[in-house]
Structure 1
Amino acid sequence: MLRIILSILILALGGVLAVGGVELISLGGAWGYVALGALLVLSAVLMFARRKSGLAVYGVAVLFALVWGVLEVGLYWWGLAPRGGLLVLLGLVLLLPPIPRGLTHGTEGFRGYGAEGMVLVASIAVAAVVAVISMVTQPYDTAGRLASDRVATPPVTDADVADGEWASYGRTAAGQRYSPLAQITPENIADLEVAWQYNAGDVHVNLPGTALQTTPLIVDDTMYLCTPKSEVIALDPVTGEERWRFSPTLIELTPALSTYATCRGLTYHDGSDLGWEVSDEPAPTEQEAEALIRASMESATTQAAGVAQNIVAGTAQEGDPNPIILDQAPETPEPMRADCLRRIFLPTRDARLIAVSAETGTICPGFGGPDGTVNLWIGMPNVSPTAFYSTSPPTIAGDVLVVGGSVNDNLSDALPSGAVRAYDIRTGRLTWNFDPGNPDDTSPIEPGETFTQNVPNSWAPGSYDVERDLVFLPFGSGSPDQYGGDRSENVDRFTASIVALDGETGALEWVFRTVNHDIWDYDVPAQPTLVDLTIDGETVPALVQATKQGEIFVLNRETGEPVLPVSEIEVSQNAVPGERPAPTQPVSEISFAPPHVTGAQMWGLTPVDQMMCRIAFAGLNYEGRYTPPSLEGTLTHPGSFGVFNWGGVAVDPARQVAFAMPVYLGFTSTLYPRPDTLDSIVSAPGYPMGNENFGTPYAAVLRPFMSKLGLPCQQPPWGFVAGIDLTNGETVYQHVNGTVEDMAPIPLPLETGVPGIGGPIVTGGGVAFLSGQVDYYVRGYDLSNGEVLWKSRLPAGGQSTPATYLGRDGRQYVVVVAGGHGYVGTKLGDAVIAYRLPEE
């Protein structure tokens, strides 16, 4: 009976591979599946006839799969496993004594297995030897180590931030995500233990893009963090006890309105030493505080923005526009309440900017008006709830607060503006604005006017050069992402670019475009990092920018000119009618661009799903990294998540190295001609990533390039950590990072290298910390060689950037937020966990 069952299984497997292999050949793919399928079918037929030669043929099939696999992917375990794993498993079952003994036609000897059975035994033995060799071979790892003099370089400090504090998103205005603290070192990091855990109580399991992604601030013995529902929480950084919580009243967020809300960080400002006039007004009572919160909601709704509502698709509703509400910020500063000299600035998911006392957690009047609120909808076209808000903390640039925002792309060609605004940090009055559609006029917009709709937006954090009074902002694209045939010259100029603005006036100093005519959603996703580099014996004021497409550009931040070489490569011009792809794209000396994808790199758990991925790949348009989206479907690799996303890289200014988490996950991008109507054609059930793009010639559907089993079609590794010498562009080391423990159906901690979103930090002690990969761990690495020295299990995905600080007890802490991320498939959570070394 077992023989019959196995024969049927092998026959079915062989038949599927043979039929699928024929289809693959018709698409110009490999012929190997037809050969393998034929061998398996022949083996099954022979065993049905009770012939031991079926065992020998099966052994030949195992050897064929093995040799074919080695020729395609080399001695790489994860590449060979889908080709031979199932075959070897079935082969072992075939060697159970009842099977060969039931095959009556064939040679005798070898305890009834015959010479035919020995062929199968030998093939499995060869496969086992190859498997062992491939398991200890990691062809995608690059070992290396920083020079000893670089490793021994003492930490450097920042004059504007105390060594033990993490005062802004990237710790300082330079956005380096570097701390000079050095208590935790490669020698003692293994002793790190949990100091405390706090649960924020804000989990939205019904909204897949909504997650706790904040990087905490630690200033003046208080930790500040924000939640998806725009709360601010103040904690004791040594004990984790809650000190206060600010909860604004918000527009209701529902799946019908939006599936995405986050707050990645807050902005802290200390005006204690600025000579501001202080009133003797006490902090408000609980009732007075509630009244201020209600007032802020009433004066900062979308209805108060002064333009018609645009709920669906960028078309104004019929009827009169709403009454225009002008900027209510005072023209001259009013006396400041004493507890408001130190303030937290909170960007809310309903497009407000609220000033909150860092001491009491209550609204600070005088910023934007008596309710302490600036309405970010003022001046915006195409008002629609949740279509625009600031996901990242504002950037302090001298006396102004620079605010960008995230626009809900790909709904239509008439969405809110990507204009960046600068508000007086004392009063909240608009000081200047930079509108990519009108870049030469940065004077504050006139009452009743609106910014240019649909221009590129700056949704990631900015950085600031205090000495040069320059603000550096990363820009994305206007809507839609996948079609740019109708874009203006200015829109193309600022799409996917880094922009340097004068901090006092907003005047454009320079712009560097990282993608020419972006039609792949390759926004510049991360905070620019400022660092002084020593190159050829000279100190160069540099800016380091990680990008979705895998380039890390190193520019002179005074001029925008490349410090490390940038070249232009020719790219595919195979685009849909109306599109006008750029003929070339910039490539940096530091490039983590994925290798050119081939059918041999398709992956799966078995030969069948691997073959299906090869068939899917053969049916896609793919001519390299910059293949335009198409009607047939295009493989976009890297996909929308990018090689680097909002976590960016961490830069050690002393050792002049960057620590990075490059990840690789391809997407498919398919365009659909759409009528000039408001009919939905791609966002029905079954199109979860459908972009309607109302008002444009094409709708689009984006999906991760996955198999029917929900695994990436491209073989591992999907994620790495890397160390880069910024003085010469050399990648010193690159290691596979992360396991499939929390991805696979069976939770085995197999190290494949996994994707993720979130950023690293580095310290003066020579260690790096990272929690962004999709297995639920925070890890500590030796910065000199990238080796994992410590890890700790998290209760959910750690898709955030850690922080480190010095507690009042004199001990160094590392804090990690485990909020998860529905779009990358990790469990949502609300845990804030701090680690420290044990007391001596």
Structure 2
Amino acid sequence: MIRNLLAAVVLLFGLALLVGGVRLVTLGGTWGYVVLGAILTLSGALLLGGRKGGLVVYAAAIAFALVWGVWEVGLYWWGLAPRGGVLVLLGLLLLLPPVVRALPRGTTGFRGYGAEGMILAASVVAAAVVAGISMITQPYDTPGALAADRALAPPATDAGAPDGEWPAYAGSLAGEHYSPLAQITPANVGALEVAWHYHAGDVHVDLPGTALESTPLVVEDTMYLCTPKSEIIALDPVTGEERWRFSPVLAELTPELSTYATCRGLAYHDGRDLGWEVSDAPPPTAEENAALVQASMEGVTTAAAGVSQNIVAGTAIPGEPNPIIVDDAPTEPSPIRADCLRRIFLPTRDARLVAVSAETGTICPGFGGGDGTVNLWIGQPNVSPTAYYSTSPPLVTDEAVIVGGSVNDNLSDMLPSGVIRAFDIRTGRMIWNFDPGAPESTEPIEPGETFTPNVPNSWSLASFDPELNLAYFPMGSGSPDQYGGARTEKQDLLATSVIALDASTGELEWSFQTVHHDIWDYDVPAQPQLVDLTIEGALVPALVQPTKQGEVFVLDRRTGEPALPVTEVPVSLDAVPGERPAPTQPVSAISFAPPYQTGAMMWGLTPVDQMLCRIAFQKLEYHGRFTPPSLEGTLTHPGSFGVLNWGGVAIDPARQVAFAMPVYLGFTSTLIPRPDTLDEVVSAPGYPMGNENFGTPYAASLKPFMSPLGLPCQQPPWGFVQGVDLTTGATIYRHVNGTVRDMAPIPLPFETGVPGIGGPIATGGGLAFLSGTVDYYVRGYDIATGEELWRARLPAGGQSTPATYMGRDGRQYLVVVAGGHGYVGTKLGDSVIAYALPEAGVVAASR
């Protein structure tokens, strides 16, 4: 009975591989599955006939799979496992005594196993030996270390984080993700322990895309963070005790209207030294503040919230209003309340910008009017709820609050504008606007006018150089992302670029394009990072720009000229009719570009699902990175999540190195001809509208490239940590990073290297910290070698960027927000966790 069952499994296994293998060959793929399937089919037939010779044939199948696997992927365990793991398991079952003894036709020596059984046993042992060697071999690791003199460099002291604070999203407006704090070191990081654990409350509303991914600010002994509900929470940074909470009234959203409910961070400004006139008015009472909060909602967003989703060619639904909202902020500043000299600026998910006292958590009137709120729909065309808002903190100078915004790409070819606007730091009145559709004029538009619809937007974070008075913005592209045939040259000019604007006037100083005619959703996702580098013996004021496609451009931030070499390489031009892809794309001296994909790199848990992935791969258009989207389906690698995303990289300005978490996951991109109607072609019921691209010839279907079992079709590693010398572009080290503990059905801590989203930070103590992987850990690394020195389990996904600060108790803290991420698929949560050395460790570190 057992013999016949196993024999039938082997036979069916072989037939599946044989049939699928023939299909793969017809698509131009390998003959390997045909051969393996034929051997297994013969083995199954012999075993069903009671012949021990079937064991010998099965041994040949193991041997073939072993040799074929090593030839294709080398001694790499995760590459070999799909090819041989199930085969070896079945081989062990075939060697069970009841099975072997139930095969009457064959030799009988060796305690009844016969020569046939011994041959099969030898093949299993050989496979086990190869597996054991491959398990201790990591061909994708590149060990290395920073030179000793640079590894021991003293901490930088001008990183913009005075007195151990973390006053901006990335530590400073330079965006380096760095703190000079050095109490925690490679020698003592292993002693970090939880100092406090705070729960922000049920901040995850029942909307797709919700994510608690805030990076806290720590200023003057108070921590500030924001939630997907656009709340501000102020905490004691030493105890985690809540001090106050600001909760705005929000426009109501539904799952169908929602796109992405998140707040990555807040902006802080201190105006105490600017000579402003101060009133003697006390902070409002709770009742008075509630009235201000309600007024900010009623006076600002009612018009926008009441409009049906505008998705068609620039016109609202017939019979519905499509208001033009004008700037009604005061022209002259009024005296400011004393508690509002220090303010927090909050971007809400219904497109408002609110000024709140950093001391009391109450509305600060005068910014935008009596309700302390600026309406970000000012001058926007195509007013539509959730089609536009700012997911990232604004850039704040002593003159202005400068705001980009996230446009809901791919709904149509007529959406709100990607304009960047500066609002007076006191009054909230617009002082300049940079409209990528009209970059030559930055004077505030006149009442009744609107900005250019559907031009590139800047949804990520900006940086600021006060000496040059330049603000730097990463730019996306106009909608839709996957088809650009209708875009004008003007729409393409500043798309997918990093730009430098005069912070006082908004005038364009320079631009550098990271992708030409972007049709892959390769928005520049990360904050430009400002650092002075010694390149070829000269000190260069540099800008480091991470990108989704894996290039990290190092530019002279004064001019936008490359400080490290950039070359143009030819790319595929095989596009749909009407498209006009660029013939070349820029490649930097620092490149995390994924390797060219081949059928041998496809993956699965068994030979069958691996074969199905190879069949799917052969069906897709793929001519390397920058293969245009197609009607047949294109493998886009990297996918739109990118090699690097909004988390950017961490830069140690003293050691002049970057620490990164490159991620490698492919997507499929398929263009679907659509009628010129409101019919939904790719949207799923009950979810936000998909990439319908109304007004264009094609809708777009974007999906992760996954196997039938729901695992990536490309073989691991899917994620690394990597150290790069910013002065030369050379890789110092690269290590596989992360486990499948929280990806797999069985929580096994296999180190495959996993994807993630969120950023690292670096410290003067020679460490980097990272929590963004899809396994639920925060990790500490030696920044000189990339070696993981410490990890702590998180209660949910840590898709955020950590922060570090010095507490009033003399301890350096690391704070991590573990809120998960709906689109990434990690567990949602509301945890804010601070780690510190125990008191004894602090004393030892200070000696």
Distance in 2 (alpha carbons) for counterparts of 1:491 and 1:742: 42
Are the equivalent residues in 2 in contact too, given 1:202–1:227 (CA < 8 A)?
A: no
Distance in 2 (alpha carbons) for counterparts of 1:229 and 1:806: 29
**Structure 1's 598 and 323: CA in aligned 2 closer, same or farther, altered over 3 A?**
closer
Q: Which amino acid aligns with 1:348?
A: T
Cα deviation code 1:561-597 (max 9, x no counterpart): 0010000110001000000000000000000100000
Q: Which amino acid aligns with 2:621?
A: N
- Give the CA deviation at 1:675: 1.0
Task: Please name the residue that 2:422 is paired with.
Answer: 422
Equivalences for residues 569-580 of structure 1 within 5 A: 569-580=569-580
Are the equivalent residues in 2 in contact too, given 1:238–1:807 (CA < 8 A)?
A: yes
Distance in 1 (alpha carbons) for counterparts of 2:684 and 2:804: 45
Distance in 2 (alpha carbons) for counterparts of 1:368 and 1:263: 21
Equivalences for residues 557-576 of structure 1 within 5 A: 557-576=557-576
**Bigger Cα displacement from structure 2, 483-492 vs 314-323:** 314-323
Are the equivalent residues in 2 in contact too, given 1:66–1:127 (CA < 8 A)?
A: yes
SS for the counterpart of 1:137 is coil
Task: Please name the residue that 2:310 is paired with.
Answer: 311
- Give the CA deviation at 1:718: 0.1
1:145 aligns with 2:145: yes
Are the equivalent residues in 1 in contact too, given 2:256–2:689 (CA < 8 A)?
A: no
Structure 1 unaligned spans of 5+: none
Task: Please name the residue that 1:12 is paired with.
Answer: 12
Are the equivalent residues in 1 in contact too, given 2:822–2:828 (CA < 8 A)?
A: yes
Distance in 1 (alpha carbons) for counterparts of 2:293 and 2:477: 34
SS for the counterpart of 1:116 is helix
Q: Percent identity?
A: 75
Are the equivalent residues in 2 in contact too, given 1:433–1:443 (CA < 8 A)?
A: yes
**Structure 1's 37 and 791: CA in aligned 2 closer, same or farther, altered over 3 A?**
same
Task: Please name the residue that 2:790 is paired with.
Answer: 790
Structure 1 length-normalised TM: 0.98
Are the equivalent residues in 2 in contact too, given 1:398–1:503 (CA < 8 A)?
A: no
Q: Which amino acid aligns with 1:278?
A: V
Are the equivalent residues in 2 in contact too, given 1:405–1:418 (CA < 8 A)?
A: yes
Cα deviation code 1:783-827 (max 9, x no counterpart): 010000000000000000000000000110000000101111100
Q: Which amino acid aligns with 2:257?
A: L
Task: Please name the residue that 1:713 is paired with.
Answer: 713
**Structure 1's 150 and 159: CA in aligned 2 closer, same or farther, altered over 3 A?**
closer
Cα deviation code 1:4-44 (max 9, x no counterpart): 11011111110100000000001000011011011111111
Cα deviation code 1:280-313 (max 9, x no counterpart): 00000111001000110011115169x9765344
Are the equivalent residues in 2 in contact too, given 1:163–1:179 (CA < 8 A)?
A: no
**Structure 1's 689 and 784: CA in aligned 2 closer, same or farther, altered over 3 A?**
farther
SS for the counterpart of 2:162 is coil
Are the equivalent residues in 1 in contact too, given 2:719–2:736 (CA < 8 A)?
A: yes
Are the equivalent residues in 2 in contact too, given 1:175–1:528 (CA < 8 A)?
A: yes
**Bigger Cα displacement from structure 2, 156-165 vs 706-715:** 156-165
- Give the CA deviation at 1:532: 0.3
Task: Please name the residue that 1:115 is paired with.
Answer: 115
**Structure 1's 19 and 685: CA in aligned 2 closer, same or farther, altered over 3 A?**
farther
Are the equivalent residues in 2 in contact too, given 1:193–1:836 (CA < 8 A)?
A: yes
Equivalences for residues 387-786 of structure 1 within 5 A: 387-684=387-684, 690-786=690-786
SS for the counterpart of 2:473 is strand
Are the equivalent residues in 1 in contact too, given 2:259–2:386 (CA < 8 A)?
A: no
Cα deviation code 1:673-713 (max 9, x no counterpart): 11111111111459998410000010000000000111000
Q: Which amino acid aligns with 1:299?
A: G
Distance in 1 (alpha carbons) for counterparts of 2:763 and 2:511: 31
Distance in 1 (alpha carbons) for counterparts of 2:319 and 2:621: 46
- Give the CA deviation at 1:207: 2.3
1:25 aligns with 2:25: yes
Q: Which amino acid aligns with 1:606?
A: T
- Give the CA deviation at 1:90: 0.4
Equivalences for residues 38-57 of structure 1 within 5 A: 38-57=38-57
Distance in 1 (alpha carbons) for counterparts of 2:528 and 2:11: 57
Distance in 2 (alpha carbons) for counterparts of 1:309 and 1:369: 27
Equivalences for residues 288-303 of structure 1 within 5 A: 288-301=288-301, 303=303
Are the equivalent residues in 2 in contact too, given 1:469–1:503 (CA < 8 A)?
A: yes
SS for the counterpart of 1:485 is coil
Equivalences for residues 21-100 of structure 1 within 5 A: 21-100=21-100
1:261 aligns with 2:261: yes
- Give the CA deviation at 1:759: 0.2
**Structure 1's 568 and 182: CA in aligned 2 closer, same or farther, altered over 3 A?**
same
SS for the counterpart of 1:240 is coil
- Give the CA deviation at 1:332: 1.1
- Give the CA deviation at 1:397: 3.2
Q: Which amino acid aligns with 2:318?
A: E
Distance in 1 (alpha carbons) for counterparts of 2:554 and 2:52: 65
Equivalences for residues 243-258 of structure 1 within 5 A: 243-258=243-258
Task: Please name the residue that 1:241 is paired with.
Answer: 241
**Structure 1's 3 and 686: CA in aligned 2 closer, same or farther, altered over 3 A?**
farther
1:192 aligns with 2:192: yes
- Give the CA deviation at 1:99: 1.2
Are the equivalent residues in 2 in contact too, given 1:647–1:800 (CA < 8 A)?
A: yes
Distance in 2 (alpha carbons) for counterparts of 1:6 and 1:259: 50
Distance in 1 (alpha carbons) for counterparts of 2:212 and 2:687: 26
Distance in 1 (alpha carbons) for counterparts of 2:156 and 2:554: 21
- Give the CA deviation at 1:780: 0.3
Q: Which aligned segments of 4 or more residues in structure 1 are displaced greater than 6 angstroms? A: 686-689
SS for the counterpart of 1:377 is coil
- Give the CA deviation at 1:328: 2.2
SS for the counterpart of 1:824 is coil
Cα deviation code 1:635-671 (max 9, x no counterpart): 0000010000000001011110000000000000000
**Structure 1's 675 and 185: CA in aligned 2 closer, same or farther, altered over 3 A?**
same
- Give the CA deviation at 1:160: 5.0
Distance in 1 (alpha carbons) for counterparts of 2:331 and 2:320: 30
Task: Please name the residue that 2:173 is paired with.
Answer: 173
Distance in 2 (alpha carbons) for counterparts of 1:687 and 1:281: 47
Structure 2 unaligned spans of 5+: 841-847
Distance in 1 (alpha carbons) for counterparts of 2:73 and 2:684: 39
Distance in 1 (alpha carbons) for counterparts of 2:243 and 2:430: 33
Distance in 2 (alpha carbons) for counterparts of 1:29 and 1:752: 26
The CA RMSD measured in Å over matched residues stands at 1.4
- Give the CA deviation at 1:327: 1.7
Equivalences for residues 186-225 of structure 1 within 5 A: 186-204=186-204, 206-225=206-225
- Give the CA deviation at 1:725: 0.3
Task: Please name the residue that 1:332 is paired with.
Answer: 332
Are the equivalent residues in 2 in contact too, given 1:476–1:496 (CA < 8 A)?
A: yes
Distance in 1 (alpha carbons) for counterparts of 2:635 and 2:159: 47
- Give the CA deviation at 1:632: 0.1
- Give the CA deviation at 1:398: 3.8
**Structure 1's 226 and 236: CA in aligned 2 closer, same or farther, altered over 3 A?**
same
Are the equivalent residues in 2 in contact too, given 1:218–1:224 (CA < 8 A)?
A: yes
SS for the counterpart of 1:490 is helix
**Structure 1's 491 and 833: CA in aligned 2 closer, same or farther, altered over 3 A?**
same
Q: Which amino acid aligns with 2:13?
A: L
